Amino acid sequence: MVKVGIIGGTGYTGSELLRLLLRHPQAEVVAITSRAEAGKSVASLFPNLRHHADLTFSDPADEETLAACDVVFSATPNGVAAAHAPKLLARGVRMIDIAADFRLRDIAVWERWYGMSHPCPELVAEAVYGLPEIHREQIRTARLVANPGCYPTAVQLGFLPVVEAGLADPGSLVASAVSGLSGAGRGAHVPMLFCETAESVRAYNVSGHRHRPEIAQGLSMMAGQALDLVFVPHVAPLIRGMHATLTLRLVRTDLDIQALYEARYRDEPFVDVLPAGAHPDTRMMRGTNGCHIALHQPLPDRLVILVAIDNLTKGASGQAIQNFNLMFGFSEELGLSDIALFP
């Protein structure tokens, strides 16, 4: 059994991570921290975990408890994982950061978008970006994995085959994506209150969202040249779920794009390319680590890519466990075989 610690277990990603790990046959959660809830039982905050989690929140300052783990997941606000990483790695503990501390390679860009000095820039180059569909082999041997954001996961998986093949006009990429409210975290914010969000959909941060440089970095790596995109995020009155509509201009019109996507994702356990003309539905991903992709060509040189994931699983905690499985030599699907809830 792999001894697992979780830093920051009271948010949505932390509780989802714990829910999944408690059912993982090779994971033993031995530590879960919360500065505000230290000393309280996990079940007192999450009654759904009664009789499943005999755990008590500890203070994250208790470094010895975390150092006794084989791997530590950090499900904390940005900047926290980077403060813990140097000491944990020095003690031989591997780490998976579900926040953004190690996603961006350019430290100046990170500091501009996240509004703080990076706590340990010396580790950024070592961190492996945890999108298994691209970096699977590097993840297997990584000490430190930067779990992708939810929007970047959906957008990159949607664009990957066509950008990788050099078939996208570099100046034509547009991503419009809708997230459930859990993507904003568990804190109380007026714009996220029920009365502010119910029966309404709105765009936000159109002029600049911190996930855009993460997406652009990934697209550039796929293409082998600098790429950027127009990225328009939206919030909708869903608890969990994410839908991305991606558009681009094709530089060639004589290829079977459906066949290209099916071939690229044929051996990927969590990415399902739906039949041509399908329309993915976020509820069909609810609680799963899956990703549904469908393709449309309304004009010969225009491609529309539709992507649906659960923002808390494939967009966060589920993908973190997929990375955990790779790091410890398990099947990628171990502990992640749930079928979506319906209706």
343 pLDDT more than 90: no
In the predicted model, what is the mean pLDDT of residues 291-320? 98
Q: What is the phi-psi region of residue 249: left when phi exceeds 0, alpha when psi lies from -120 to 50, beta otherwise?
A: beta
CA proximity to 258, closest of 119, 161, 156, 132: 161
- Cβ(242)–Cβ(177) below 8 Å: yes
- Tokens 């905690």: give the residue: 317
Strands 94-97 and 71-74, by their bridges, are parallel
The predicted structure's pLDDT at residue 19? 94
Token pair for residue 106? Answer: 């350019």
Strands 230-235 and 202-203, by their bridges, are antiparallel
CATH superfamily of 2-126: NAD(P)-binding Rossmann-like Domain (3.40.50.720)
**In this predicted model, what pLDDT tens digit does every residue of 212-268 receive, in sequence order?**
999 999 999 999 999 999 999 999 999 999 999 999 999 999 999 999 999 999 999
124 pLDDT more than 80: yes
- Cβ(263)–Cβ(176) below 8 Å: no
Query: Catalytic site residue 150?
Result: yes
In the predicted model, what is the mean pLDDT of residues 323-333? 98
CA proximity to 88, closest of 114, 43, 47, 119: 119
- The model's confidence at residue 122, banded by pLDDT at 50, 70 and 90, is very high
The predicted structure's pLDDT at residue 205? 94
Give the three-class secondary structure for 317: helix
DSSP letter, residue 50: T
| Adjacent-strand bridge partners of 305 | 246, 295
CA proximity to 45, closest of 18, 67, 26, 22: 18
CA proximity to 246, closest of 183, 150, 129, 160: 160
187 pLDDT more than 80: no
In the predicted model, what is the mean pLDDT of residues 263-285? 97
The predicted structure's pLDDT at residue 192? 78
Token pair for residue 339? Answer: 């079928």
Token pair for residue 294? Answer: 């469908």
The predicted structure's pLDDT at residue 239? 92
The domain limits of the chain are 2-126, 150-311
The predicted structure's pLDDT at residue 282? 97
Q: What is the pTM of this model?
A: 0.96
Average pLDDT score over the chain: 95
190 pLDDT more than 90: no
Architecture of the domain whose range is 150-311: 2-Layer Sandwich (3.30)
**In this predicted model, what pLDDT tens digit does every residue of 8-35 receive, in sequence order?**
989 999 999 999 999 999 999 999 999 8
Could you say which of 69, 120, 150, 291 is catalytic? 150
| Adjacent-strand bridge partners of 71 | 4, 94
- The model's confidence at residue 203, banded by pLDDT at 50, 70 and 90, is very high
| Adjacent-strand bridge partners of 144 | 95
